[in-house]
Amino acid sequence: MTAAAACGGGQQGDSADGTVTLEMWDWWVDADPIAGVIDDLVEEYTDENPDVEIVRRAIPYSDYPDAVIQGSLARELPDILISDVVDTIVWGNLGVFRDISAEVEQWGQEDLYYEGRFDSVRGQEGEIFSLPNSSNTLGLYYDVDVLDEHDLDPPTTWEEFYDAAETISDGGQRAVIVAADPSLTGYQWLPWLWQAGGSVDDLASEAGVRALNVWRDMIETQAMTPDVVTYGHDDLREQFASGQVAMMVNGPWNLDALSADDVEIDWAVAPLPCDVECASQAGGENIGVSASTDHPEAAWSFIEWLQSRDVALDWTLDHNSIPHRTDLEGETVFVEKNPQMEAFLEQGAYMQAPPAEYIDVWPEVQEALSEAIHAVLVGGADTEQALADAAAQIEALGR
């Protein structure tokens, strides 16, 4: 039994008949297609385990981090928590998650996860705060008819990307949009930094300047609107689906929505264009046991079941994710379900995670990056100076 978007917080406790009730927090609200997927999985598990009831509380993604921190301070956390890859270790260090390293060692399947993804759940002292629950990355969605009209192929290099943007914008249409909302600038911009051969350790380098200038140049040539500094991923999808822009940088979670009957454009997905190297972001979510749960064994049992190969495969397919376990590799069902998934699977070979040494201070790193990016895109700041300022803020964090 589940109760999506249930009110209140804290653990549910036990019933008089001995049924253990677990509460789970996530961000899949009713309007999100994933809500139905997780509800079905919870129902399947509780049918197999009638002595367990799982009550979901769905909190909008934008409100979720604050709800978790407030719940931790008030000691009103649920038994099971979903977390973003960049939040897990931060929250683990704050005491949100229970260390499940003993359970994972006994389980014996840690080696089935990609090392880069598992880095997002491992604390500095070897704690394991969660398990990877899905993986995603970014690709370049494009309007097939617009590119055909201008005799363009999907750009594979930065030079081709500049040429395509110029050609499309000269024709009177916005060429591209990215998500540069403060909460997403790190996720969306880091691939460009890595493609240029740059790193967070050396932001104000020639590579860093070139990477940020790609976005700046798109705005200065009117190929991209400066409003992107307020855009999240849903905003991108809505503008792209309505034909307002020819290309967008977004993830595989949009595939089902863009495949709906009311989307009239003909679209496809390609890997991100490359510069000196190819790169994309390693995103996704993790799932862990609350540090304050009264039922750690029951909570772990559900997570263990959710991560079993067959369940994980179904979840990954329905979630429009790319494999987060090596034993899901090579499954043709991903492309059979949606041929556009092939671009994301190809892009997955070039995924990078945020640098591990910064993970526990990632909110502060992302804030510094966001301030620099916004200063350049809408404040007219010098790119090198803005990145140097961000580098100084990051260096002050002691990393």
Residues 6+ apart with CB under 8 A from 4: 28, 29, 30, 35, 39, 56, 58
8 pLDDT above the threshold of 50: no
Q: Which pLDDT score, from 0 to 100, does residue 312 have? A: 95
**pTM for the whole thing?**
0.86
Point out the least confidently predicted range of 21-25, 124-128, 146-150: 124-128
For 196, list phi and psi in degrees, rounded to 5.
Answer: -80, -5
Fold agreement between 13-135+283-351 and 139-281+355-395: yes
Q: List the domain boundaries for the chain.
A: 13-135+283-351, 139-281+355-395
pLDDT tens figures, 129-168: 999 999 999 999 999 999 999 999 999 999 999 999 999 9
Alpha helices in the chain (DSSP H): 33-48, 64-73, 88-93, 101-107, 115-118, 144-149, 158-170, 185-195, 206-220, 233-241, 255-258, 296-306, 309-318, 333-337, 341-348, 362-377, 383-395
- pLDDT exceeds cutoff 90 at 330: no
Any idea what DSSP says for residue 19? -
The Cα 224–Cα 8 span in angstroms is 42
CA-CA distance, 191 to 251, in Å (whole number)? 13
Give the closest residue to 137 by CA, choosing from 325, 350, 280.
Answer: 280
Nearest to 240 by CA among 218, 211, 221, 263: 263
pLDDT tens digit sequence for 198-252: 999 999 999 999 999 999 999 999 999 999 999 999 999 999 999 999 999 999 9
Reported as a pLDDT band with limits 50, 70 and 90, residue 13 is low
- Tokens (6 digits) for 151: 């005799």
Q: Which of 204, 215, 228, 186 is nearest to 390 (CA)?
A: 204
Just give the CATH number of 139-281+355-395: 3.40.190.10
C-alpha 101/C-alpha 128 separation (Å) is: 5
Give pLDDT, residue 16: 58
Homologous superfamily, domain 13-135+283-351: Periplasmic binding protein-like II (3.40.190.10)
